[in-house]
Structure 1
């Protein structure tokens, strides 16, 4: 048994506006099937997508704090010219430069209109087949422990593990990477960005949740009440949800 990423959740005061930002940023399309705004490839709402990990922007009443998100997106670029054009387009859409201590790093750090940080990467060969989202990046204390937990939680392949970082990708070797980076500090506030996981058809959600608890996940109460999904945290406190199979 294993789970698959369904989408990346971004919490927002104005989900439709933030959904439009990310749709234009990624050259994807925004869909509003209900109170949330889903962002995915053009051509119709496909959830979960067989190759890409979409974005679901959900409404919340609180604004982001000044603290840096512990989860963010890295955007891929095809060439130096594309990177320059993308950064300019993102700025025109309302993105602002962000300083997260990156110094003279070769990537550009920006924040969306509600302050959620993300990076625009320099072009590299390994980014060419990821789609517009190169990676979901998670700050952590122990990348090796995160690789063990998430590698067992999902059906993704662990590609690389060191004391400094760990890399996972779909078993089909398509779509974005999951990267876990050793980062100073520990998580202290709820994140604005997290991942939702989905069982495969025929699998039982409660059985999967019990398996995750055995791996080190903990229950999380964010006031969700009686909902069809289960809120958990990984061993370092990163929130995630397990959805009911569709």
Structure 2
């Protein structure tokens, strides 16, 4: 089953086109973004109101080198992304930004674990119990569990291609942002 990440958007079509351009993917229909190879599908639906606070799901973008990370940050900035402060330390090696509708994203430093993910390294989800969520999603998606700790759990497709699905501990996550649809 494909992994589908759904975001509420003020202008779903505009945000879908922005993400498709940033990732080099294709817009299908009004506001669905599909990878040309392995990857998660992104769906943008009309928001019922203004964005309120930090998202409980965000996307991590992959870098092949430190120079590539810098280039990706510059490219995102030139496409309207902004730098974001979500309480991260100045010591973290990734760059936190937000898209044109203030959805948080991270541009990661090079990591071997994401070598075969494509431009989208991971879909990161806040969860009260990362291990429990990872086990449930691993069974639903037929993904492999590659890390499992009390504060963090990570899954990847069995092929090793496409983004990881990661769960980070959070006391009050907002359920319902992540959906799985039949193939």
TM over 0.5: yes
1:9 to 6, 18, 21: 6
Q: C-alpha deviations, 1:4-35, integer Å up to 9, x for none?
A: 2342112111112111211121122323x2xx
Q: Could you tell me which residue of structure 1 aligns to residue 61 of structure 2?
A: 75
Tell me the equivalent position of 1:134: 121
Question: Which of these residues, 165, 169, 175, is aligned with residue 178 of structure 1?
Answer: 165
Equivalence map 1:150-169=2 (5 Å) = 150-169=137-156
Q: Tell me, which stretches of 5 or more residues in structure 1 are unaligned?
A: 43-48, 201-246
For residues 98-119 of structure 1, give each alpha carbon's deviation from its aligned partner in whole angstroms, at most 9, with x where no partner exists.
Answer: 1111112110011111111010
Structure 1 counterpart SS, 2:161: coil
CA distance in 2, matches of 1:150, 1:166: 11
RMSD value, Cα: 1.8
With the length of structure 1 as denominator, give the TM-score of the two structures: 0.68
CA contact (8 A) 2:134 2:166 kept: no
Pairing partner for 2:44 from 46, 57, 69: 57
Structure 1: 4+ residue segments shifted above 4 A: none
1:78-93 equivalent positions in 2, closer than 5 A: 78-93=64-79
TM-aligned CA deviation for residue 190 of structure 1: 6.5
Aligned to 2:112: 125
Match for 1:197 among 168, 175, 180?
Answer: 180
Give aligned pairs, total.
Answer: 182
- Which residue of structure 2 lines up, in the alignment, with residue 102 of structure 1? 88
Return closer, same or farther for 1:110/1:186 CA change in 2, 3 Å cut-off. same
Return 5+ residue gaps in structure 2 as ranges: none
| Equivalence for 1:39 | 33
**Distance (whole Å) between structure 1 residues aligned to residue 68 and residue 20 of structure 2:** 17
Name the SS of the counterpart of 1:199 in structure 2. Answer: coil
SS in 2 for 1:119: strand
Residue 30 of structure 1 corresponds to which residue in structure 2? Answer: 27
Greater relative CO, 1 or 2 (CA 8 Å, sep 6+): 2
User: Highest CA radius of gyration, 1 or 2?
Assistant: 1
